[in-house]
């Protein structure tokens, strides 16, 4: 399905287009929506094959499976080549983000919440929290911990209420906002990552 017509991709773009991290990655407001439309289209396509994309009426979650060895990749090799074309002058920042988050990503069996977006007209209504809580219960039943990077102090506080704990200090984007790596043990009981 083309990214332009995939409601999951459109929901993610609408949720993230003005996010602080998105603005840092693609400072050109005129280019940002198209870059994210293409990028999230590639990510959703990849996650459909190797992870899980969960979509409700106004919430989209993109999950990737973490294994031993190296962190999960948001894109396969073909997707990364296409992303290099899509990102154009912003590719350096995309690369910095990938390097910094990849260096901090835990290894071992887990699910990685790479993206969760709520359509703007449904933000702050609890639908995103409810969808994420349902996914966390599913992964708890499967016996797998979860990992994410919170993109703001507000989202960090929300994730903490759902049982996530900080995994080291913030990831500092040069000249940009901080990301907060967070780990959730099975059952949200805290504890060390594997």
46-95 pLDDT, tens digit each: 999 999 999 988 999 999 998 877 777 778 778 788 888 888 888 899 88
Residue 193 confidence (pLDDT): 47
Q: How far apart are CA 182 and CA 179, in angstroms?
A: 10
Place of tokens 């409700």: 56
* pLDDT higher than threshold 50 for residue 194: no
Q: How far apart are CA 21 and CA 152, in angstroms?
A: 9
* pLDDT higher than threshold 60 for residue 191: no
* pLDDT higher than threshold 80 for residue 177: yes
DSSP alpha helix (H) spans, 114-175: 127-141, 153-161
Residue 2 confidence (pLDDT): 55
* pLDDT higher than threshold 70 for residue 190: no
Between the alpha carbon of residue 184 and those of residues 79, 171, 188, 194, the distances in Å are 29, 18, 5, 11
Mean pLDDT of the region 106-130: 93
**Full set of structural domains in the chain with CATH:** 3-188 (3.40.630.30)
Answer whether 0.85 is exceeded by the pTM. Answer: yes
**Strand 59-66 versus strand 51-55 pairing type:** antiparallel
Q: Are 167 and 181 in contact (CB under 8 A)?
A: yes
Q: How far apart are CA 10 and CA 12, in angstroms?
A: 5
DSSP letter, residue 142: T
* pLDDT tens digits along 28-45: 999 999 999 999 999 999
The chain-wide mean pLDDT, for the chain, equals 90
Residue 188 confidence (pLDDT): 84
* pLDDT tens digits along 130-174: 999 999 999 999 999 999 999 999 999 999 999 999 999 999 999
């Amino acid at each position: 399905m083309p990214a332009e017509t995939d409601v999951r991709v459109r929901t993610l773009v609408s949720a993230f287009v003005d996010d602080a991290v998105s603005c840092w990655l693609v400072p050109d407001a005129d280019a940002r929506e198209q870059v994210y439309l293409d990028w999230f289209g590639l990510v959703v396509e990849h996650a459909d094959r190797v992870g899980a994309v969960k979509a409700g009426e106004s919430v989209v979650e993109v999950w990737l499976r973490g294994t031993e060895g190296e962190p999960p990749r948001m894109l396969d090799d073909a997707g990364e080549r296409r992303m290099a074309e899509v990102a154009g002058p912003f590719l350096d920042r995309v690369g910095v983000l990938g390097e910094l988050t990849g260096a901090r990503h835990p290894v071992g069996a887990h699910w990685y919440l790479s993206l969760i977006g709520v359509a703007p007209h449904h933000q702050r209504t609890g639908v995103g929290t409810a969808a994420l809580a349902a996914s966390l219960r599913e992964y708890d039943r499967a016996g797998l911990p979860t990992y994410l990077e919170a993109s703001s102090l507000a989202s960090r506080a929300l994730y903490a209420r759902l049982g996530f704990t900080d995994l080291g200090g913030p990831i500092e984007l040069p000249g940009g906002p901080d990301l907060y790596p967070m780990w959730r043990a099975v059952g949200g009981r805290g504890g060390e990552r594997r």
